[in-house]
Structures are given as structure tokens and as C-alpha cells.
Amino acid sequence: MFQRVLIANRGEIAVRITRTLARMGVRSIAVYSDADADARHVLEADTAVRIGPAAARDSYLSIPRIIEAALSTGAEAIHPGYGFLAENVDFARACADAGLVFVGPPVAAIEAMGDKIRAKQTVMAAGVPVVPGRTEPGMTDADLIDAAAEIGFPVLLKPSAGGGGKGMRLVTSDSELAAAIESARREARGSFGDDTLLIERFVQRPRHIEIQVLADAHGNVIHLGERECSLQRRHQKIIEEAPSPLLTPEMRERMGSSAVDAARAVGYTGAGTVECIVSADRPDEFFFMEMNTRLQVEHPVTELVTGLDLVEWQLRVAAGEPLAMSSVSLNGHAVEARVYAEDPSRDFLPTGGTVLDVVEPADVRVDSGLRVGGVVGSDYDPMLAKVIAWAPTRSEALGRLSSALAETAVLGVGTNVAYLRELLADPDVVAGRLDTQLVSRRAAFVQSTPDHVFAAAALDELLALQPSGPVVDPWDVPSGWRVGGAAGFSVRLDSGDRQVTVCARDSSVSVDGGAFVPASAAVDGSVLRLTFDGRTYRYRRAKSGSVLWLASDGFTWAVDEHSLLEESAVSGAEGGPVTSPMPGTVLVVKAAVGDRVAAGTPLLVVEAMKMEHTIAAPVDGVLTELHVQAGQQVALNQPLALVTPEEQT
């Protein structure tokens, strides 16, 4: 076994790999960019090496810098994790050239499966079923149009290189095809440097089911059952489970055997995943989609139902050891939820900020890269952590996961935890009626801040203003007392889609002019307890500046305090101030000061965490102020521009 292994990744996967290395007695070496200097994966590794600035291309995607870090620290092997360079054939070659073991499959296998066209041709030759379509390399736009006519609509355009849903386009009619081809090529070229496309029949009500395979260098290849990954948004998985509620034992064996055949066809070694598509209407029919030649984000659900540590077996296989098993049995059910830095109530826009506090649930597995004081920026993927629950049955596993998410809180950064709980309670999810469009069919997620949260925030502020000490001057008590009696304590609060005034008086609270109801609160360190209108609430709390973060039952609210004088100023504001809806980088500025613009006219494009967001003019008028330029970093709600109605100019 190796003595030292470098982890060419960051975040939760780097932390998770470090855990296994520590258990195996192997020294771990972390790498980090300037943005990650104090990250959790850096602090938990035995050694850490800086590899460059925040931009991934100059750090986590820099092959020379990672190889140099490995050689300078005496590493014998490099584990790539997932994402970044995990499936990069040039990186695997560079490791070999430097005398380092790449903890992954051989170069030939990465090459064969990394190109979707070549991968389909390879598995077809091995007898594995594929989605009907055209997969010839170098197809022109005219070839793709002809192929669509042969296949019949709807069709799916896919880039031959890369994955993650980038460059994929669903086309339902001939009139959409030309524009979709142009758009798909542009995104594929920008994401992967290759605009080669293939075209497939779109399977109606598709379910995404993948088979985990494990192979050694001695000719042994086995499968470890399947994972159901149909709950996706924009081709990104949200919740995964093992085993699938759809498959019968006979179907599981058929798909598993095909996955083993696909792995054998390319001389695969290590852990890999064969991804398949299954029609919800015809569950006895499956098609090969692609093979991921790396560890998957969702690998923990397989580990919980098989009892295997896949990272450990990746390392053992890379060290030349044979598999110790010829098959595995599945025990119980496991479900994983991905915690993202995003705002589901604002169309899942990326969020960010400094982590003020983290609460992780007990009695379930949590793979996390979070730590108090860590900064979630816009440079990398928005996934922060994964919460994974196991139980003897699927319904129990879903319940345990929902309960665990209710105990989860990240204060200082908005997350999707409340949305995950809502999705787990969806009747179709509970019943196992899944497909990859289920999430997109659901109504928009709405999270409005309730009155009890505003009451809690107001009383928290009132408690902070209370004088302390052996002698209290009555004039220091924030009672609002004046001649004729106490007027009460009032504060203006803003959270989500609501801005309200809260008044506290004589152990009662009124929210936004409503009736006064009995209320009291007490703070004990990081916990705020509130009794409000006959009900008791318990919140985790943390404060940064004027913003109080409260978390309870899976929900997290950021409550900002404003001066009471701001209300009239805000209500009388005119024009169209433009602010950034997320922390990120300004990619494009589409207008200049003095331009006349109509409401909805694109002004800027901001990118964060691999997502582009076009910011439009809020009103008809003239662009009178522009505060940013292309390439500039911006914060959440940072003023970007001002559009003034023409009659005011």
C-alpha cells in the first residue's frame, strides 16, 4: 500500500478521501488555491500545498502544478476525486510520465469512455444496448438535421466530450433544431473545447439509473448494484438512492451484467459507473448513456447498502491488489441529498458568504467540506455537503433523511435544505414514481418568512440592548418610555420577500401592524428560544453586522435590521436600481451610460458557480449609472447600475 497520496481536489470529496486515508494509515496531501487557504480539506490533511490563485484553470486544473506538488511532497499516488481533472486523459498520462500512480482506470479506458461517440461504439460492439441515434464522429449541422428526421422527434443533442448536462439540448420539433444545434455547439466548445455533437432519440419519462462497477488488474470485474438518480434539475442530480425502487432482481442482474461487459470491453480497473436510461413506461428496457471513469458524487449510497468503502478499494486496486469478493449483496436502502449554496425561492441562484455556524445531524452520514469561518465564494461548484441516511426499508430511509435535514443548518450562507425536505415529501417521490422531469414539473418553491421569525429577530435585538450589571439606570432600558406611558420598542426588519415593522411592548409583540400577541424570548449562546402566540420555537442563531441568521426545522432565514427612517425613503424611491442577485463575476457589460433601454433589456451577465445570469433593465429609461466592468467580482445585492425613467432625466 502507498505511504503518501495526494488528493487533486477540494471540498467535501477531499475531506472524504482524507478520512479513508487516515483509517488506512496513509498520509494525505491536500492541494489548495488562494481561495481555499483556510478550507476544511486543507486543515484536515497531513500536508497541504498551495497550487495557485482562485481561478480553477490556474490551480485545480493546472496539471504541472499538481504534479509538482506531488513530487515535492514525496507522494506515490494521486487520487483525483471527481470533477476537475478526474477524467482528464492528459492528467492520467502526466501522472504516469512522472512515475506517479493515478488512482483511476488506465489511459486507454479513459480515452474510450471519455468520448461519447467512441464509448457508444465500444459498448455496442460488446452487445450493450444503446439509445437509437447517430453517433458518427464529425457530423455536420446538415448531418444532424438528417439524423433527426430519421430518428423522429423529440431528440436529444449531446456533446461528445464532457458531461454534467452542459451542451445538451432537448428538441421537440424541426423548427427548433437549427438554433438548438448552434447553441449546443457553442456551449460544448466553451465548456470542453470540442463542439462535436451526437444525436439520440429522447426517451419519454426517462429514469436515470446507474450501475457501480469495480474491477482490478487481475481480470476480476463485478457490479455493486444500482443507484436511482432521476431527481435532477438542469441535468444536475439532487437526490440519489440505492437500490432503485423500479428494478426487479432480474432487471438488476441484466443491467449489472451489461455494465460488467462494458467495463471489460475497455480493460477497466478501479471504481466506475455505467449510466443508463430506463423508460418509466417500459421498465424492462434500458439503454447505455455513458460511463463515468471516476468516483461518483453519489457513491455513499452504494457504500451504505454494500458495506464497502469505494475509496479504499480504489486505492487497493491502484496498488495492485485483487478484489476480495466476487459479488456483493445489498442490505437495506440508502438515500442521499446534496446540499447546495443556492436560493430555491429565486430560481436556484447561487448564494455565498462566510459560514457563521454549521449544525450537522447525528445518526446519519454527512460528507461535508464546511467549517465555521470558511468562505463560500463563486469560484467553484456550489455543492457544500451531502446528507446520507440508511434504513432497512425505503420509506424509513426517506423519513430518516428528512428528519436529518430538519436538523441541518448552515448559517451565513443560503442553502437548499428546506427545498430538499419538500422534495422528499412529494407524493411521487414517496411512491417511487420518478423520472428526470419530475423536478421541473413541480411548482416553484416559495419560502416566505413567517411572523414568528420576525418576532424572534426583534426580541433578539431587544435582549441585546438590555443593560446589564449590578446597577441599571432606568433610562438605559429600551422600553420606549415617554410621558404618558411606554410606547414600546420598534424595529424595521427585512427578510426574503417581506419587510415589516415589529413592535414589542409589555411582553407582547405586534408584527407589521397586527394585533399584539404574548411573546417572550431567551438567548443561550447560539440558541434562541421564543414563545409566540402560545407556541414555542427554537432557533440556531448567528449574527453578522446588521443581519441575524436564524435556522429551525430545515429552514434558514437571514433577517436584516433597517432604520425606521428608511421606510419612507424606500417607498418614495424612483427609477430602477440594478443589484447583483448573486455573488459572482461580471462576464459581459451589454450597455453603456447614456443608453436608452426598455424594461427587460439585458444590461450585464454575471457568472457564479458555473451558472450564467443575465441582468436586465427593471424599467424603461436611461442607463445613468454603471458601477462595474467585465471581469469584476461582485457581491450579493451589490449595486451594479441605475436606470432612470426618461421623464426624470
**Which tens digit of pLDDT belongs to each residue from 436-463?**
999 999 999 998 999 999 999 999 999 9
Q: What is the dihedral of CA 350, 355, 357, 363, to 10 degrees?
A: 60
What is the spatial distance between Cα 598 and Cα 25, in angstroms, rounded to a whole number?
Answer: 64
What's the mean pLDDT in 16-31?
98
Question: What domains are there in the chain, each with its CATH number?
Answer: 4-103 (3.40.50.20), 106-128+206-331 (3.30.470.20), 132-201 (3.30.1490.20), 335-446 (3.30.470.20), 451-468+478-567 (3.30.700.30), 574-648 (2.40.50.100)
Q: Contact at 8 Å (CB) between 642 and 623?
A: yes
192, three cell numbers:
470542453
334 and 388 Cβ atoms separated by less than 8 Å = yes
Residues in a beta bridge with 482: 485
Measured on CA atoms in the order 155, 159, 164, 168, is the torsion positive or negative?
negative
Res 587: pLDDT: 86
**Which stretches of 527-634 are assigned E, i.e. beta strand?**
527-532, 535-544, 547-552, 555-562, 576-579, 584-589, 596-597, 602-608, 611-616, 621-626, 633-634
Q: What is the pLDDT of residue 39?
A: 97
The x, y and z cell numbers of residue 20, run together, are 479513508
pLDDT-based confidence at 149, cuts 50/70/90?
A: very high
Choose between 136 and 225: higher pLDDT. 225
Task: Check pLDDT > 50 for residue 337.
Answer: yes
Q: pTM of this prediction?
A: 0.85
pLDDT of 649 above 80: no
Residue 468 pLDDT: 58
Instruction: Please list the residues that pair with 500 across neighbouring strands.
Output: 493
Give the model's pLDDT for residue 506. 86
| 551 contacts 339 by C-beta, under 8 angstroms | no
Assign 577 a pLDDT band (cuts: 50, 70, 90): confident
Residue with cell 433577517: 559
Mean pLDDT of the chain: 91
CA distances from 174 to 134, 135, 147, 167, 624 (A): 17, 19, 11, 19, 43
First to last CA, the chain: 73
Task: Please report, rounded to a whole number, the percentage of residues in the chain having pLDDT higher than 90.
Answer: 73
* Measured distance CA(629)–CA(528) in Å, rounded: 42
Kindly indicate the confidence band of residue 192, based on its pLDDT and cuts at 50, 70 and 90.
confident
Report pLDDT for 646: 77
At residue 189 the predicted structure's pLDDT band, cuts being 50, 70 and 90, is: confident
What lies within 8 Å, CB to CB, of 192 at 6+ separation is 159, 161, 162, 166, 167
Asked if residue 1 has pLDDT above 80, the reply is: yes
